Chain A
Amino acid sequence: AQSVTQLDSQVPVFEEAPVELRCNYSSSVSVYLFWYVQYPNQGLQLLLKYLSGSTLVKGINGFEAEFNKSQTSFHLRKPSVHISDTAEYFCAVDSSYKLIFGSGTRLLVRP
């Protein structure tokens, strides 16, 4: 069965600094990967997804992620964060009509 690991439960960072949120998945023949964001008191919304093709995927709000098959990783990055990026971020992998989510990483952006 597929699984997703987000090792960092919380990542504090100063405004305008770069950030990387880590995600590792269990290997599979084919894999579809997603990053979702949850702002306070809201549901989740899609940031970006990898289905095939280019390993560098660009999403909304300046985020991007790189699919690395050899390291089974799909880390999320942003070169310069804003206060408004404070939220919880979930990595997910497709598994037969279902999504398997990681435990989430809370990004705290400080002024």
Chain B
Amino acid sequence: DVKVTQSSRYLVKRTGEKVFLECVQDMDHENMFWYRQDPGLGLRLIYFSYDVKMKEKGDIPEGYSVSREKKERFSLILESASTNQTSMYLCASSITGPSSYQETQYFGPGTRLLVL
């Protein structure tokens, strides 16, 4: 079974702190994604990566950055946390299908971040 793990289930940080969220997948997937999930808004894509050291902005990249130094690990960084970044953060990974369509994304359990 594919396994996607996230470093923390719950995290409490203070405004202005630098925050690192780590995600690791064990299935050699090329693609990795970071989403935030907020009530009534569904999942919104922050950043994704289709290869090591490659990254693409998603729909809401402002205030975030990412790092992918190894294929299995994709980190989300909040350079200076703010209260409006309080949310559930979900990581996912996938392979790319033969016609470039999106294969199934496998999700981690999520990190619930509270910024005070």
- Give A85-99 as 1s and 0s: 1 = Cβ < 8 Å from B's Cβ atoms: 000001000100111
Query: Are A46 and B110 neighbours in the complex by a CB distance under 8 Å?
Result: no
In the complex formed, the residue of B with least CB distance to A32 is B101
Q: Which of B40-48, B67-75, B79-87 contacts A (4 or more CB under 8 A)?
A: B40-48
| Interface residue from B40, B41, B45 paired with A98 (Cβ < 8 Å) | B45
Which residue of B4, B33, B42, B101 is within 8 Å of A102 (Cβ)?
B42
- Expressed in whole angstroms, the Cα–Cα distance for A57 and B57 within the complex equals 32
A103-B101 contact in complex given A43-B90, A43-B110, C-beta closer than 8 Å: no
Question: Does A97 contact B48, Cβ atoms closer than 8 Å?
Answer: yes
Query: What residues of A have a CB within 8 angstroms of the CB of B58 in the complex?
Result: 98
Closest chain A CB from B28 CB (angstroms): 17
- What CA separation (Å) do A36 and B31 show in the bound complex? 18
Given the complex of chains A and B, what is the CA–CA distance between A90 and B109 in angstroms?
Answer: 16
Interface residues of A, CB < 8 Å — how many? 22
Report yes or no: A101 in contact with B42, Cβ–Cβ below 8 A. Answer: yes
Assembly CA distance A45 to B104 (angstroms): 9
- The chain B residue with its CB closest to the CB of A9 is B40
A residues 44-69 touching B (CB-CB < 8 Å): 44-46, 49, 51
Question: What are 23 A-B interface contacts by the 8 Å CB criterion?
Answer: A32-B102, A36-B107, A43-B90, A43-B107, A43-B109, A44-B90, A44-B105, A46-B104, A49-B104, A51-B101, A90-B42, A94-B102, A97-B31, A97-B48, A97-B50, A97-B96, A98-B58, A99-B45, A101-B42, A102-B42, A103-B40, A103-B41, A104-B42
